Amino acid sequence: MNLVTIDDIQTAAKRIEGVAVRTPLLPQPWGSPAGLWLKPENLQQIGAFKVRGAYNAIAALDEETRTRGVVAYSSGNHAQAVAYAAKLFGVPAVIVVPNVTPRIKVEATRAHGAEVVEVPIAERESAAYAIVAERNLTLIPPFDHPEVIAGQGTIGLEIAQDAPDVDVVLIPVSGGGLASGIGTAIRALCPNAKIYGVEPELAADTAEGLRAGARVDWAMDRRARTIADGLRSQPSELTFAHLQAVLDGLLTVTEDEIRSAVRTLAFKAHLVVEPSGAVATAAYLFHGDELPEGKTVSVVSGGNLDPATLVELLSQ
């Protein structure tokens, strides 16, 4: 299997320049003496890192293919990322969402000019493939795609530029595209750094898979228990191979630890972060004994949560 290379990530960085926000590393005085820095991807226009991979994947299409348009199935940050990136290219986007998706998310996706197709949740994937076939469009998957992985990897490139002496990098893991990309960049540019994925304990299929040396399947209703609704996917063959190659370890965090990290990020770092975006910081805060000491970067992957949930989390 061909893995994404640092060259692929550098090509992606050129494509997304001026499109994705070049997020800074934010030093945190409440971190340990060696230092904690946050990489705040919740500050992207769409509120999450996903714009990097979606834009890179669409940019990598030949022009004729791209002009026909793209399709994504997702109710989350990837849907908005594909809709937003397609709008920037001026090409059609069709987003297939479950018909139980909150109106606010449907409207946000439509606001980027995308066509939203609502289907029963079980038909989401098949409906997307049917649209791809019928209309001759191109599917942009959320993580199982080299150009998506390379786009997310630009975060690692930026971390290496801003903190070449980084010792530890902590990255949320779900489908694994983010950790695959960042891990590949850090491995290449900061060979001495240790790279850890982080999962909710309630959706820890990748932790189990890495221990077993092969992907394992957790039923969707088991993974759906976590409040971190962006971390309920599982790696593909492609991302799992990357994770095996680049991760030094994978930590799991509890639901209470995730909630607490959301509060710390709001009250001390002044960032609104969704539960999925807070898991790496939760690992830093509560599992320091499982991590090497040193200059640590925690990737804050997104900030999209509805106001009522945010207030509830902050009130605890």
Contact 105, 78 (CB under 8 A): no
Which among 88-96, 201-209, 242-250, 265-273 is the span making contact with its own copies, rule CB under 8 A?
265-273
User: Which of 27, 102, 120, 288 is close enough to bind its own copies by CB under 8 A?
Assistant: 27
Sorted by sequence, the CB contacts under 8 Å of residue 204 that are 6+ apart come out as 218, 252
C-beta of 43 vs 130, nearer to its own copies: 43
The tokens for 80 are: 């908005």
C-beta of 154 vs 184, nearer to its own copies: 154
User: Which of 4, 46, 169, 190 is close enough to bind its own copies by CB under 8 A?
Assistant: 46
User: Which of 3, 5, 26, 249 is close enough to bind its own copies by CB under 8 A?
Assistant: 26
Question: What is d(CA 129, CA 62) in angstroms, rounded to the nearest whole number?
Answer: 20
User: Which of 110, 267, 288, 293 is close enough to bind its own copies by CB under 8 A?
Assistant: 267
Beta strand 249-253 with 26-28 is: unpaired
Question: Comparing C-alpha atoms, which of 248, 232, 156 is closest to residue 200?
Answer: 232
Place of tokens 């990020």: 265
CB 215 to its own copies: min, Å:
33
How many residues belong to the site for its own copies (CB under 8 A)? 32
**Binders of its own copies in range 93-112 (CB under 8 A):** 111-112
User: Which of 55, 73, 84, 218 is close enough to bind its own copies by CB under 8 A?
Assistant: 84
Sheet holding 70-73, edge to edge: 115-119, 93-98, 70-73, 138-139
Can residue 120 be called a binding residue for its own copies (CB under 8 A)? no
Question: What is d(CA 74, CA 106) in angstroms, rounded to the nearest whole number?
Answer: 11
Q: 274 exposed, middle or buried (CB, 10 Å; 0-12, 13-18, 19+)?
A: buried
Handedness of CA 108, 111, 114, 118 (dihedral sign): positive
Can residue 42 be called a binding residue for its own copies (CB under 8 A)? yes
C-beta of 231 vs 273, nearer to its own copies: 273
User: Which of 228, 243, 271, 282 is close enough to bind its own copies by CB under 8 A?
Assistant: 271
Binding site for its own copies (CB under 8 A): 21-24, 26-29, 40, 42-43, 45-47, 84, 111-112, 263, 266-267, 269-273, 303-304, 307, 310-311, 314-315
